[in-house]
Amino acid sequence: MSEADRSFTASIPPVAIVGAGFSGTMVALHLAETLPPGQQVLLCEAESFACGTAYGTGNPSHLLNVRAANMSAFADRPAHFAEWLETVRWECPEQIRATDAGEFASRGLFRRYLCSLLDRAEAGAPGRLQKIPAEIVDIARDGAGFVLRTAGGASHAASAVVLAIGNLPPPDGGHVLYRTNPWAPGVTKGLRQGLPVLIRGTGLTMVDLALDLRDGGFAGPVIALSRRGLLPHRHAPSRPWPTPELDDAERGSISLLLARLRWEAQRAEARGVGWRGVVDSLRPITADIWGRLSPAERGRFLRHVRPYWDIHRHRLSAPVADQVQAMLESGFLQVRRGRLAGAAFGHERVEALIQPHGAEDAETLTVQRVISATGVPSAAEAASPLVQALCGRGMARLDARAFGLDVTETLAVRDAAGQPIPGLWALGPIVRGVFWECVAVPDVRVQARRVADAVAADTRAAGPCAR
Ligand SMILES: Cc1cc2nc3c(=O)[nH]c(=O)nc-3n(C[C@H](O)[C@H](O)[C@H](O)COP(=O)(O)OP(=O)(O)OC[C@H]3O[C@@H](n4cnc5c(N)ncnc54)[C@H](O)[C@@H]3O)c2cc1C
């Protein structure tokens, strides 16, 4: 390092990243390569590093819902994950499943991949990455930079902060027999045989829970309840379909958009490509479509279309879809249309009042536990101390529907007045209210690169003194 470099870097506080799931880990890896020599990266994580809600599962039945070929951590090296899989295949062939729609690995293996990337980055630049195993509960401005406060009361100065706080889990709460957080440890444990378990929701999280219950020895039945009773579709072979060139009217109206998609899907079916190619073709323009929809049209999407969109967009790998089919056929899993209208809790059982779809009368179902699996909650429901503190200070605001944080096109966090805060960034599922399609690896990896490049450029532009 030159003398000039040394004097430059010595005066720059580190860049802090809050959250070390996929998003935060990837930003850290990129920054480790692009920040000026000597400037540190603080990677702050409340739970496990390089893991997050998605990849913390220890159940090998939980497969990725994206093909291995699309799960590279790097957009510019699309085969990276698939190549890494080759190096571990001999150890755990049962965790890599070949299907007619491509290979699907277990989510635990993806975690191993992420950990290996983080380990390599740490080894490659000793001292550059500093892991802070703590929950960050507050961030305040400090001159041109920031100071982060941990739940334990420690403080860390930073020149810039990246919020990668991801899928905020629902708060644990309610009753011991009514679990509101489907990802909490032990949520499928401690059951006895004989009485059903009721799951609210029939999506991907319900499927994870049903597999956990089955693999944990529970004999069933598991009753999954949702208004429409829709299960996710399965991945199947499909070919790429050209991204439709939508006109302004289609971009502004959910009904016109749907009509166009149906038309595209019919054409794709007729040409042997199938509807999956059409759904996948929207990925590059989904954020733009979402960004241009009026609040009223977004509301229409959320009320009427979202459940259908979700089951077509977020699909099950074939091995998992086969297991769902088997669980349905054996009666272990029962899917019902309706809603939970109330619950009376006894010592070891719950009398769940179910309002079946289309029926006049509610019915009572006696179950031993209710687990809510209705998806990642909005930031308003999740009640993260950090988000509350940032919003309380006026350093952040929620997006219009309170899904998460409001950010600019370039991922800068907007303050209470809507102005971007220099040096404060956010990415991943926590900004899904702004982009919608930014929760899965193929989208998040692009955001991670963009944020890292912006932070590095900012640091260079700020020079030795600023921030
Ligand atoms: C169950 C599940 C399965 C999924 N499966 C797939 C899949 O197969 N393929 C795919 O592409 N996508 C999948 N996804 C989408 C997933 O959102 C992304 O792949 C990706 O994991 C998101 O990463 P993230 O780091 O933004 O969020 P998260 O994984 O949620 O990580 C956020 C991290 O931030 C930490 N954190 C939060 N607040 C604080 C704080 N205040 N202080 C310190 N740390 C904090 C959390 O502890 C957590 O580790 C899945 C999502 C879920 C929920």
Mark residue 385 as left, alpha or beta (left: phi above 0; alpha: psi -120 to 50; beta: remaining).
alpha
Shared domain for 11 and 78, answered yes or no, is yes
CA of 53 to the centre of ligand 1 (A): 5
Give the angle 106-108-112 at the CA atoms, nearest 5°: 120
Examine residue 254 and state whether it is found in any structural domain, yes or no. yes
Residue to substitute in 53, 148, 168, 435 for testing ligand 1 pocket (most ligand atoms within 8 angstroms of CB): 53
pLDDT band at residue 32 under the 50/70/90 scheme: very high
Asked if residue 460 has pLDDT above 80, the reply is no
Shared domain for 354 and 415, answered yes or no, is no
Q: Single out the residue of 453, 439, 95, 437 nearest to residue 290, CA to CA.
A: 437
Q: What is residue 381's predicted lDDT score, i.e. its pLDDT?
A: 85
For 109-128, write each residue's pLDDT tens digit.
999 999 999 999 999 888 99
**Is 46 near ligand 1, meaning CB less than 6 Å away?**
yes
Shared domain for 95 and 184, answered yes or no, is no
> Mean of the pLDDT values across residues 360-367?
94
Domain that holds residue 151: 3-169+378-462
**Is 167 near ligand 1, meaning CB less than 6 Å away?**
yes
Shared domain for 347 and 390, answered yes or no, is no
Examine residue 243 and state whether it is found in any structural domain, yes or no. no
Examine residue 467 and state whether it is found in any structural domain, yes or no. no
Shared domain for 85 and 117, answered yes or no, is yes
Q: Which atom of ligand 1 is nearest to the CA of 442?
A: 11
**Is 405 near ligand 1, meaning CB less than 6 Å away?**
no
The percentage of the chain sitting over the pLDDT mark of 70, rounded to a whole number, equals 96
Examine residue 285 and state whether it is found in any structural domain, yes or no. yes
**Is 135 near ligand 1, meaning CB less than 6 Å away?**
yes
CA of 463 to the centre of ligand 1 (A): 33
**Nearest CA, atom 27, ligand 1:** 166
HEC string for the chain? CCHHHHHHHHCCCCEEEECCCHHHHHHHHHHHHHCCCCCCEEEECCCCCCCHHHHCCCCCCCECCCCHHHCCCCCCCCCHHHHHHHHHCCCCHHHEEEECCEEEEEHHHHHHHHHHHHHHHHHHCCCCEEEECCCEEEEEEECCEEEEEECCCCEEEECEEEECCCCCCCCCCCCCCEECCCCCCCCCCCCCCCCCEEEECCCHHHHHHHHHHHHCCCCCCEEEEECCCCCCCECCCCCCCCCCCCCHHHHHCHHHHHHHHHHHHHHHHHCCCCHHHHHHHCHHHHHHHHHHCCHHHHHHHHHHHHHHHHHHHCCECHHHHHHHHHHHHHCCEEEEEEEEEEEEECCCCEEEEEEECCCCCCEEEEECEEEECCCCCCHHHHCCHHHHHHHHCCCCCECCCCCCECECCCCEEECCCCCEEEEEEECHHHHHHHHCCCCCHHHHHHHHHHHHHHHHHHHHHHCCCCC
Under a CB-based contact definition with an 8 Å cutoff, are residues 99 and 317 in contact? yes
Q: What domain count does the chain have?
A: 3
Shared domain for 78 and 208, answered yes or no, is no
Q: What is residue 5's predicted lDDT score, i.e. its pLDDT?
A: 42
For 152-183, write each residue's pLDDT tens digit.
999 999 999 999 999 888 887 778 899 999 99
**Is 22 near ligand 1, meaning CB less than 6 Å away?**
yes
Q: Which of 372, 403, 418 is the last residue of a domain?
A: 372
Q: What is residue 140's predicted lDDT score, i.e. its pLDDT?
A: 97
CA of 317 to the centre of ligand 1 (A): 19
Q: Single out the residue of 19, 21, 8 nearest to residue 42, CA to CA.
A: 19
Indicate the pTM of the whole model.
Answer: 0.94
**Is 170 near ligand 1, meaning CB less than 6 Å away?**
no
Q: What is residue 171's predicted lDDT score, i.e. its pLDDT?
A: 83
Q: What is residue 261's predicted lDDT score, i.e. its pLDDT?
A: 95
> Mean of the pLDDT values across residues 372-383?
88
Shared domain for 217 and 275, answered yes or no, is no
**Is 43 near ligand 1, meaning CB less than 6 Å away?**
no
Q: Which of 262, 278, 313 is the last residue of a domain?
A: 313
Helix 107-124, helix 22-34: angle, nearest 10: 20
Give every CB contact of residue 194 below 8 A, 6+ residues apart in sequence: none
Examine residue 238 and state whether it is found in any structural domain, yes or no. no
**Is 386 near ligand 1, meaning CB less than 6 Å away?**
yes
Examine residue 417 and state whether it is found in any structural domain, yes or no. yes
CA of 55 to the centre of ligand 1 (A): 8
CA of 180 to the centre of ligand 1 (A): 18
For 392-446, write each residue's pLDDT tens digit.
999 999 999 899 999 999 999 999 999 999 999 999 999 999 999 888 999 999 9
> Mean of the pLDDT values across residues 87-92?
94
Shared domain for 122 and 16, answered yes or no, is yes
